[in-house]
A = this chain, B = another copy of it.
């Protein structure tokens, strides 16, 4: 059982939305899974001492630090879990790796290819010393997405020919939605593209086991100005009538080719009224198809073209069986999981890789690859959608 395993002391930097989700992952994983290392919620780090103390108590962290440099320097920290906005990832992650700490860094890996390249280089260097880095594309841990990947990897779908991937939300469709840090290019890097487009870029590459090799992109900002928040980061209210400029994209769409020859369409938007968290991926191969929608995350649609036509059709697989990924640790069939289970599964996979000395996935190199796709989309968009290769 996990509690008899050696401890893994975690220091988490940041404690907003992602901090709560990561905390749940660290808290729950050792209770349901028999882990080779026992993760300990050891240290939480943030700048505001008052808020930090409350977060530590609420989220269940034993100690606090207000300076991340101090946090990563502590001898009693084994792993640094970075939950801050993207513009801080590179500095913290590289410093932590250099300090010999394993790193889990939330996605997107960075706000630019240049930063991501530095991080991937730092991760590679650290790996030589047995220090591991992973980027937090948690949707890889949804059992249905894992099952889709398994089916592709086992050849059940044949060669992949077409992919359509969408990540549709609607929380910015209201022009009065406030100008949060996610709409500031200097903090967030990009808009829908980096926030949710990154997820579909990673998920498609993960499921297919292929790379996006080139894109033709188009980005758009529908609402150019929005009400300014009184605080830019954190739990914020909207302040008066002041408007500020939105400096990121509201939506991004792109065509892409995969390394195996498939062609695909991608769309990331926060303007799709009625779609709350619709990460949808459909993949057509030469022998079958799969389709997934995060709004029904316990289901995978699967069509096996090798069966007789008469009784064939897309099957709604309820991915809640003991033989499905991660499920044996949970509940009986049909007792579905939720969003946050991805964070628990992320801990399981990360801790297992650390104990085994293998590279946890997705690596910083994987995160860099996603960053290059996003960058190619932006460059293509700036150049009349002209086809733009994604560097290997």
Contact = CB atoms under 8 A, between A and B. Distances in A.
Interface of A: 1-4, 17, 20-21, 23-24, 27-28, 31-32, 54, 57-60, 147, 151, 156, 161-162, 164, 166, 169-171, 173-175, 216-218, 220, 222, 251, 253-255, 257, 261, 263-265, 267, 269, 271-278, 282, 284-289, 294-299, 302-305, 309-318, 320-321, 323-324, 330-341, 384-387
A275 B303 CA distance: 9
Chain A: interface secondary structure?
mixed
A332 B173 contact: no
Which of A253, A275, A334 gathers most chain B CB within 10 Å? A334
Nearest to A216: B385
Contacts of A304: 311
Given A311-B315, A313-B317, A1 B58 contact: yes
A334 B294 CA distance: 8
A24 to B, nearest CB: 7
Given A173-B286, A316-B316, A384-B387, 13 more contacts: A17-B332, A23-B31, A27-B27, A217-B255, A220-B263, A253-B263, A254-B255, A275-B289, A277-B336, A302-B311, A310-B321, A311-B317, A335-B338
A199 to B, nearest CB: 13
A271 B161 contact: yes
Given A4-B57, A310-B323, A288 B316 contact: no
B314 A274 contact: yes
A224 B94 CA distance: 49
Contact of A315 (B27, B314, B320, B321): B314
Contact of A295 (B20, B302, B331, B334): B334
A273 B251 contact: no
Contacts of A337: 338-339
A152 B4 CA distance: 50
A307 B286 CA distance: 22
Given A31-B23, A255-B385, A332-B171, A288 B271 contact: no
A316 B301 CA distance: 10
A162 B310 CA distance: 24
A323 B309 contact: yes
A162 B251 contact: yes
Contacts of A161: 173, 222, 251, 271
A184 B364 CA distance: 47
B312 A277 contact: no
A335 B57 contact: no
Contact of A384 (B31, B175, B386): B386
Contacts of A57: 1, 3-4
Contact of A24 (B28, B296, B387): B28
Contacts of A20: 32
A274 B291 CA distance: 11
Given A253-B255, A309-B321, A312-B315, A218 B28 contact: no
Contact of A313 (B164, B251, B294, B302): B302
A278 B54 CA distance: 40
5 nearest CB pairs, A to B: A277-B334, A276-B334, A274-B303, A338-B338, A216-B385
A194 B282 CA distance: 23
Contacts of A324: 310
A20 B278 CA distance: 31
A7 to B, nearest CB: 14
Contacts of A286: 173, 175
A261 B1 CA distance: 48
